[in-house]
Copies of this chain bind each other. A is one copy, B any other.
Amino acid sequence: MKKAAILGATGLVGQRFVSLLADHPWFEITLLQSSGKSAGKRYGESVKWVLDSQLPDKVADLPVEPLDLASIAREGVDIVFSALPAEVSVDVELELARRGLVVVSNASPMRMEPDIPLLLPEVNADHVEVLELQRRRRGWSGGIVKVPNCTTSILTLSLKPLLDEFGLRRVVASSMQAISGAGLTGLPSMLIMDNLIPFIEGEEEKVEEETLKLLGSVGGEGVTLNNSFAVTASCHRVMVLEGHTIAVFAELEKRSIDVEEVIKAMEEFKGNKIKGLNLPSQPEKPLVVKREPDRPQPRLDREAGKGMSIVVGRVRPDKVMGGVKYVVLGHNTIRGAAGNGVLIAELLVKKGLV
């Protein structure tokens, strides 16, 4: 059992990490820290638990410490899961890596740095080798591995089979994102009730850039962005609790493709990069295709593969774009954040990097 610390444990992504790691066969939660006001109390008392699943008792009794890097080292922690707020995360994560700890981080800073692996295992598990380059370059024995932006992960898992089979040129993505993506207190109800917000700060840039890194390649300097296609996004917040939906319009390299070939390519996508590794969080079918005309829908499909599968529907020809258009949904706090983080950690363990 590897000892795990969760930083930012009381936030929404932190709660997801807690929920997923509480009874994990490989990890044991030994330390919870928060940069907020919760520090000092028992987790059960300080967290405003909002997940459907019950707060596990043994975790409820753990104390929530304030951020304290020395404590993390002292506890003999093997791996750190960071769900810290962006502005706090950088210094903390760099210092942890210097102190020899491996950090799997959901925070957005540093995701685009070439020597920091940005992982979506089914798609680019091989990028994990960049960790070695990182260690040499930065001179530390620890490491920082980043979890991609939620919308990006969901989009990229759906694009991978298309890129591999048909090539991509232009991809237009219009998202309808759940309120959980704004965090526990990030979105006042007065702003979203009977409304939608057509702007999520920084989101479109992340989708447009991180997708190119996830589908990029590893070179001497680290990861090089994929330059064979480009993404343009428009991201919006809607009144859904969990589950991001994206309308995708993809221009393909290959022309004159039967839409059935596209559906087949998506149905057969098995996430070969980690197939056979049998990681505990790995979904049997990372991509599920629905043929019903009105799917996917967040409330009905977000739990597919225990929240780790993306669900694609409405795959149909797009003559205007020269390719296909479809709708893809994924659980934003599991597949899009903490679940992916845990899968990454499992990959690191399997590869002997933790």
Contacts and interface: CB of A to CB of B under 8 A. Distances in A.
Interface of A: 12, 48-50, 52, 170-172, 174, 176, 179-180, 182-199, 201, 230-232, 234, 236, 238-241, 245, 247, 249, 293-300, 303, 313-314, 318-321, 325, 327
A201 B201 CA distance: 33
Given A245-B236, A320-B230, A320-B232, A194 B193 contact: yes
Given A174-B247, A180-B190, A189-B191, 19 more contacts: A50-B300, A52-B300, A170-B320, A171-B320, A176-B176, A176-B236, A184-B190, A187-B189, A188-B189, A189-B189, A193-B239, A195-B298, A195-B299, A195-B300, A198-B247, A234-B247, A234-B249, A236-B245, A239-B239
A310 to B, nearest CB: 14
Contact of A194 (B170, B241, B313): B241
Given A249-B172, A321-B170, A297 B198 contact: yes
Given A232-B318, A320-B170, A188 B187 contact: yes
A180 B182 CA distance: 20
A179 B196 contact: no
A196 B298 contact: yes
Nearest to A52: B303
6 contacts: A52-B300, A188-B188, A194-B298, A195-B297, A195-B298, A196-B245
Nearest to A192: B189
Contacts of A325: 232, 234
Nearest to A198: B327
A81 B174 CA distance: 36
Contact of A247 (B182, B183, B236, B294): B236
Nearest to A174: B174
Most buried by B among A182, A198, A236, A320: A198
A294 B197 contact: yes
A238 B321 contact: no
Most buried by B among A48, A184, A188, A199: A188
B238 A239 contact: yes
A242 B285 CA distance: 30
A240 B196 CA distance: 7
A58 to B, nearest CB: 19
Nearest to A51: B300
B198 A245 contact: yes
Given A174-B247, A249-B234, A314 B198 contact: yes
A298 to B, nearest CB: 6
Contact of A319 (B176, B232, B296, B298): B232
Nearest to A49: B300
B320 A240 contact: no
A50 B190 contact: yes
Nearest to A195: B299
Contacts of A196: 176, 238, 240, 245, 297-298
Contacts of A230: 319-320
Given A197-B297, A247-B236, A188 B185 contact: yes
Contacts of A303: 52
